[in-house]
Structure 1
Amino acid sequence: MRKVLSALLIVLACVLVPPAGLSAWARYEIGDTGRYVATMAPLAEGPDVQGAIADTVTDGIMSEVEVGPLEAEVRAYVHRAVRSFTGTEAFRAAWNTANRAAHDAVLRALHDDRADTVTLDLAPVTARLRTRLADDRVPMADRIPVAHTEVTVLRAQELGSLRKGFHVLEIAGPWCPLAAVVLAVGGILLAVRRRRAVTATALGMALGAALLALATAAARALTLENLPEHVSRAAAGAVYDALTETLRTATWSILVLGLTVALATWLTDRRARRRAGSAGPVPVPAAEPTRARA
């Protein structure tokens, strides 16, 4: 009964590794606006995101301006100006502002059943661009329209399933990792052979971490595959990698730690067995035969 209960607790602890990692990531990384903005901030310096923003803002400006036969030249000029602007501190400030607003909108949509499609408004970027070009005395810079160029973050049809999953992960966030640790410790303490129990627990948790790593990679491939044609896959991939960096780091840490503990425990157990075998039983001295009396 003790062996069965120990094995059951260890199996449950290992099964909880993927949902524990996912729930902790969703609650403390994705669900926190400050951490989200800090995670997204370095992307403002990435060429993929800068290129995607330059293309989107240029399209938004050109849709509001009529230039006739000089459209190609004007578009190229605007694109160069926007791309140059993406390397400035003003762009990084606008990027952080837009991401904070988008994250707040996503959280509201996930907590409100009446919310619709969530979009990211690039108007702050366009406004700062116009101000900088005007300060640089670029001709007709003050006539650049500040259009509300919106980038879709979450479509309405995606919100239904995401709400349910996010609510579950939010609730399980602080408790699922704790339950995995408690079950693992309980299973090891109940085990008849604790070294083997430690080895089994470490290998099981490493396997759970490996499955979570595979699921993260598969989700990335599916996300990029289902993007609309006009969305930059390079920029979307950079955003996905930034958002899941903490999850991937924790996953690989658990995997390496589990394999290390399993190997160390196995080597320790093997060495203990060798010592016990080399010692062997202590020989009992044979009794001397008694001499017959004359």
Structure 2
Amino acid sequence: MSSPANAERPAARAPSRARRAGRGFSAAASGVLLVVTALLVPLAILSGWARLDIGDVDEYVGTMEPLASNEHVQADIAAAVTDRVMRELDTGPLQDTVAEFVESAIRSFTTTETFRTGWNAANREAHGAVQRALREGDGNGAVTLNLAPITQQVKDQLEADGVPFADRVPVEDVEVTILEAHRFPAARQSFRLLQEAGLWLAGAAVVTAAVGLLLARRRARAAVLTCLGGALACGALLIGIVIGRRATLDDLPRDVSEASAAAVFDALASAPRTLAWAVLGGLLVLALVIAVLAGLRRTRPARR
């Protein structure tokens, strides 16, 4: 016959197995949540950029504003306006001379505050088209910048300087292409999803990190690994930006300047690139601090 003590052993083992199973589930859930946290970090950066920097008209204009001082952009605008102007003028043997004079006048104008004001106004007007091209793919996805306000100011300046034929300078139908979203349908779909997600992804990253760390048995180690994973994901985002830049510049139409396209890409990518570097550095520092504090805690002599 079995003793009462032996009869109680299976019953005692059952809670022990249940506890081990519970700990195993918690560890697995913690690992999954912390991996998700690391993956959400770059997505949160991109969604914030899509919603706040590109989605907001004032932020978008502020992003594009420095391009007004870019020499390559200025040269392309001067060339586009000059080409349109000279198509309307027939000055006979003086055609080339007049063209050089007009382009020189326009290049000089692009360095003025008046030009920067017109540039900002043109970008503000184009913002809606940029949004539609990136989110919905309206038309062929090409977004052009209407230079009519700038051309009008150039015309007024030429007339004030007494330039012959200045009154015949056309004001309408002077445009430059700033975006061809139709060449990147997958990126366009991703942009729409990221913009709709907005700041929710950042909140989701905080929640998954908090729950994952609460479920972790060795929280300091889990926190360090999560920080390193997030930093690695930010590094992947930075590499992706570099690859995207190269792909964009390698597939430009013939009539689009590579230097100007690079300037536009760099302006648009400036915010997520800067934030990715900041988050990457912050996560590495945080991982180091947690590791040092955990090490000091382990080496601290126990109180008697």
Shared fold per TM-score greater than 0.5: yes
Q: Deviations over 1:170-208 (max 9, x none)?
A: 221221111111101111122111111110111011011
Report what 2:124 is aligned to: 100
Q: Deviations over 1:234-279 (max 9, x none)?
A: 1221111111111111101110011101111112222223334xx6
Percent identity of the aligned residues?
46
Report what 2:87 is aligned to: 63
Q: Deviations over 1:124-179 (max 9, x none)?
A: 21111001121233333222222412223444844754553232112212211111
Report what 2:66 is aligned to: 42
Report what 1:286 is aligned to: none
Q: Is the 8 A contact 2:38 2:230 kept in 1?
A: yes
Aligned residues: 279
1:1-16 residue pairs with structure 2 within 5 A?
1-16=25-40
* Counterpart selection for 1:134 from 159, 163, 178: 159
More off after superposition, 159-168 vs 252-261: 159-168
Q: Is the 8 A contact 2:223 2:287 kept in 1?
A: yes
Report what 1:187 is aligned to: 212
More off after superposition, 157-166 vs 264-273: 157-166
Report what 1:23 is aligned to: 47
**What RMSD, in angstroms, separates the aligned Cα atoms of the two structures?**
2.1
* Counterpart selection for 1:143 from 160, 163, 168: 168
Report what 1:274 is aligned to: 299
Are 1:170 and 2:195 counterparts? yes
Q: Which amino acid aligns with 1:26?
A: A
* Counterpart selection for 1:208 from 233, 243, 246: 233
Q: Is the 8 A contact 2:45 2:272 kept in 1?
A: yes
Distance 1:220 1:159, change over 3 A: closer
| Cα distance in structure 1, aligned partners of 2:242 and 2:181 | 25
Q: Is the 8 A contact 2:72 2:260 kept in 1?
A: yes
| Cα distance in structure 2, aligned partners of 1:156 and 1:196 | 43
* Counterpart selection for 1:122 from 138, 147, 167: 147
| Cα distance in structure 2, aligned partners of 1:15 and 1:82 | 48
Report what 2:8 is aligned to: none
- 1:76 Cα deviation (Å)? 1.1
| Cα distance in structure 1, aligned partners of 2:181 and 2:193 | 20
SS in 1 for 2:255: coil
TM-score (norm 2): 0.85
Distance 1:197 1:161, change over 3 A: closer
Unaligned runs of 5+ in 2: 1-24
